Chains A and B, each alone.
Chain A
Amino acid sequence: MTKSGFVTSSIGKKILMGITGLFLISFLLIHCFINALIFFNDGGETFNKGAEFMGTNWLIRAMEIVLFIGIFAHIFLALKLTIDNRKARPVGYMVVNGSANSTWYSRWMGLLGTLILMFLVIHLKHFWVVSRFTDEITSGKETMFDEMREVFENPIVVAVYCLSMVSLAYHLLHGFQSSFQSLGLNHKKYTPIIKSIGIIFAILIPLIFASMPIVMHFGIIK
């Protein structure tokens, strides 16, 4: 038989989408944990230690490159899949009753992902660019905590961050359990548990993230 290309096949792309998705989920968990150090409410002392560790540890710095590869792969695959899927139905339906058979957020993953990408650009500019490409942090002029306080002074930024976390929540609500299904992990006993964990994760993590700009803006954490 002819050799089939895993990466170009429909199932191969789907599995890669699942793997990169799960990898990004693991990143969210770590990111959320480190940021939650602000809740010690110690003027950012613990948080700054965590931020410095993340910024200087060689393993974390190496993983940062892997993370960017993961994000780009996830976005590239999504674009490729979306274009292919459009081609698969050149003439559309006049009436589509999608809500009868699926959730809206599962059908709009591409839109939710695009909103998250737009947020990501803003977010990287706010913190990642400042810490990596300017001497604001390295020179000791400012800490990451100071940077956070500065950025979240603007109420529009706070609103954008909170709304983006809503997009993230819905993206995860479908994406978490979907990635397991794509990897072929579907089990009578464990799938309901995975789905429950997915729902908790999709609500809890974005909620914790969204609370950060709010508490910083209103000076609850200072």
Chain B
Amino acid sequence: MSHGNMNLTLKVWKQKNKDTKGRFETYHAKGISPDMSFLEMFDVVNEQLITENKEPIAFDHDCREGICGACSMYINGRPHGPKGGVTTCQLHMRSFKSGDTIVVEPWRSAAFPVIKDLAVDRSSFDRIIAAGGFVNVNTGNAKDANNILINKDHADEAFNAAACIGCGACVAACKNSSAMLFVSAKVSQLALLPQGQIEREDRVLNMVKQMDEEGFGNCTNIGACEAECPKSISLENIARMNREYSSAILAQNKLHH
């Protein structure tokens, strides 16, 4: 990795585990190349800390190409930093100036407890998916492709919703810590497709119930989630989920009385 001439001051949240109190630590990142990603800059800092026999900063990362949803840094007051439509791993140091002080915090939500430093536990999202974000299929031989016809508009909308990588930036950005953009993307993706119709009503009821139980806040339509989402998931999905929920409530009363 080529080294550059950027020098930065980092104020990073350090926390031993979820049961201890955290605090901000100041680090100096020296000789950073503008071509490095934000995570690569952290790698450089961590290597330096290791050679100094100090504890490195814990942070989540995996694919480093913007598709896995693992990276989760709240940079200078915005999830995934100052650029729209990108994850932290795709944020490059050229978006900053040498001499800048950068404040890096973990996602803040009661439903995302800090595991260590910048790494948070997002298994609440997994439990929401387990509550209804699936379709039932017959086992046996795989069917021929394309034997279920799907309206092109619906397929496109479903695909847009399916672009959600479950990173949690929507929750981090929301002043209410609401998970509605995430849940609505998952509800929409399956509600729009023929394969998702059988569980359609139970899905939205169970996923919303789980979302509420996990301790996420309530949506007030400020739109920060949509603006900060690295995959630009639209607020239309939240409106769709509200509709799905209302009609599921009505259908449920019809069936159970």
A residues lining the B interface (CB < 8 Å): 1-4, 6, 9-15, 81, 84-85, 87-98, 100-103, 106-107, 109, 174, 177-178, 181-186
5 contacts between A and B (CB under 8 A): A81-B176, A81-B218, A85-B176, A101-B228, A186-B240
Chain B neighbourhood of A91, CB < 8 A? 108
Q: Is the CB of B215 within 8 A of A182?
A: no
Chain A neighbourhood of B246, CB < 8 A? 11, 15, 184
Q: Is the CB of B235 within 8 A of A186?
A: yes
* Residue in chain A with minimal CB distance to B21: A91
Chain B neighbourhood of A177, CB < 8 A? 221
* Interface 9-mer from B33-41, B63-71, B189-197, B205-213: B205-213
- How many contacts between A and B, using CB within 8 angstroms? 141
Q: Is the CB of A11 within 8 A of B242?
A: yes
B residues lining the A interface (CB < 8 Å): 11, 24, 74, 76-78, 82, 103, 105, 108-111, 173, 175-178, 180, 202, 205-206, 208-209, 211-212, 215-224, 227-228, 235-236, 238-246, 249, 252, 256
Q: Is the CB of A89 within 8 A of B177?
A: yes
Chain B neighbourhood of A1, CB < 8 A? 202, 205-206
Q: Is the CB of A15 within 8 A of B219?
A: no
Q: Is the CB of B177 within 8 A of A85?
A: yes
CA distance A101 to B205 in the complex (A): 29
Cross-interface CB contact of B224 among A9, A90, A98, cutoff 8 Å: A98
Cross-interface CB contact of B227 among A9, A90, A100, A184, cutoff 8 Å: A100
Kindly provide the distance from the CB of A190 to the nearest chain B CB, expressed in whole angstroms.
Answer: 11
* Residue in chain A with minimal CB distance to B237: A186
Q: Is the CB of B77 within 8 A of A100?
A: yes
Chain A neighbourhood of B211, CB < 8 A? 10
Cross-interface CB contact of A10 among B74, B76, B110, B219, cutoff 8 Å: B219
Q: A1-B205, A6-B249, A11-B245 are in contact. Are A181 and B105 (CB under 8 A)?
A: no
Q: Which one of A2, A84, A177 has the highest number of Cβ atoms from chain B below 10 Å of its Cβ?
A: A84
Chain A neighbourhood of B103, CB < 8 A? 94-95
CA distance A3 to B249 in the complex (A): 9
Cross-interface CB contact of B105 among A10, A93, A101, A184, cutoff 8 Å: A93
